[in-house]
Amino acid sequence: MKKQLSNITRLLLLSGVAVIMSTSCMFLPQKEVEETLKPEDKEGLTLVWQDEFNYTGVPDVNKWKYQTGDNGWGNHELQNYLDNSTEAKTAVVEDGVLKIKAFKENNKWVSARLNSKESWKYGFIEGRLKITDRKGAWPAFWMMPQNSVYGDWPKSGEIDIMENAPSTCGNHKVFSTLHAEGHYGGNGKSIGRKVYGDELSSEWHTFAVKWEENKISCYYDDVLKGSYENDRTTANWPYNEDFYIILNLAIGGDLGGPLNDVNTLGGEAEFLIDYIRVYQ
């Protein structure tokens, strides 16, 4: 999701065939599988952190902090990320759900970007999400390193658990992605996995990664979609430090694309989160 380069070319694995595609994101081509999540996949893991959003108001300040700004975020995005100090409620919890909202205020797009206050090294990280179908929106559930011990992005890594952009990718496709010095969007080698799903805006779906010392695997609705193994080089595997969780809803930009629907269908979009859980 971070992406500091525009007009980038990424490597897409689609049905076992490598395809070059401009300005999109993918995940995990090394092992492509379709297996249902088994109890042993979580064997020995304990739920260590969660937000079920079973309260009303703003996101739990003990668990989340806002990241603010309107600098385009390296992708020509249009939104200004606000915190909860303004009247524009871009992140609210109600009816057991976190709602991240993007809309226009004073003719400028506003939205929210939430970072978890805690960070983790390895584990099973899972979210149950409902994704907007508004073209021009760009919701994401991802992770960044707490400390950039190997250098600036992408050297210290990035784990994208779920990204979707209806304008450029359609409403039946999501992406999970790994970025590192040896494979990131800007050099045409982003390691990615394109996942075809059901209607993402009308149904709840779970997205997860199982992050181990020597392997990262991605899941969609408890089905294993792919995995990538440690090749023991820092350039390809900086995923041995603490990472924190990010939830955000961007507007426009290189992946978000044209604002067809968010401009015409009420001028707003929502990203819904039922829960986020971390097992270790």
Rounded distance between C-alpha atoms, residue 24 and residue 16, angstroms: 17
Candidates 71, 75, 72, 79; CA nearest to 10 is 75
Full domain range(s) for residue 166: 9-279
pLDDT above 90: residue 144? yes
Q: What is the pLDDT of residue 16?
A: 27
Name the range with the highest mean pLDDT among 72-86, 122-136, 263-277: 122-136
In the set 163, 181, 199, 241, the catalytic residue is 163
Tell me the CATH number at 109: 2.60.120.200
Q: What is the pLDDT of residue 58?
A: 95
Rounded percentage of the chain residues whose pLDDT exceeds 90? 49
- Which stretches within the chain are classed as H helix? 166-169, 253-256, 260-264
Instruction: Dig out the tokens for 173 from the structure.
Output: 């496709």
1 in a structural domain: no
The answer to whether residues 278 and 50 touch, using CB atoms and an 8 Å cutoff, is yes
203 belongs to the catalytic site: no
Rounded percentage of the chain residues whose pLDDT exceeds 70? 74
90 in a structural domain: yes
Q: What is the pLDDT of residue 268?
A: 86
4 in a structural domain: no
Candidates 75, 74, 141, 84; CA nearest to 111 is 84
268 belongs to the catalytic site: no
3 in a structural domain: no
Q: What is the pLDDT of residue 187?
A: 60
Average pLDDT score over residue span 95-101:
97
The amino acid sitting at 252 is G
166 in a structural domain: yes
Please report the sign of the dihedral spanned by the C-alpha atoms of residue 139, residue 33, residue 128, residue 203: positive
pLDDT above 90: residue 99? yes
Name the range with the highest mean pLDDT among 33-47, 168-182, 222-236, 244-258: 222-236
- Given pLDDT bands bounded at 50, 70 and 90, which one contains residue 113? very high
Q: What is the pTM of this model?
A: 0.85
- Given pLDDT bands bounded at 50, 70 and 90, which one contains residue 253? confident
Q: What is the pLDDT of residue 260?
A: 67
In the set 77, 126, 158, 270, the catalytic residue is 158
The answer to whether residues 26 and 194 touch, using CB atoms and an 8 Å cutoff, is yes
**How many structural domains comprise the chain?**
1
∠ Cα 238 241 242 (to 5°): 135
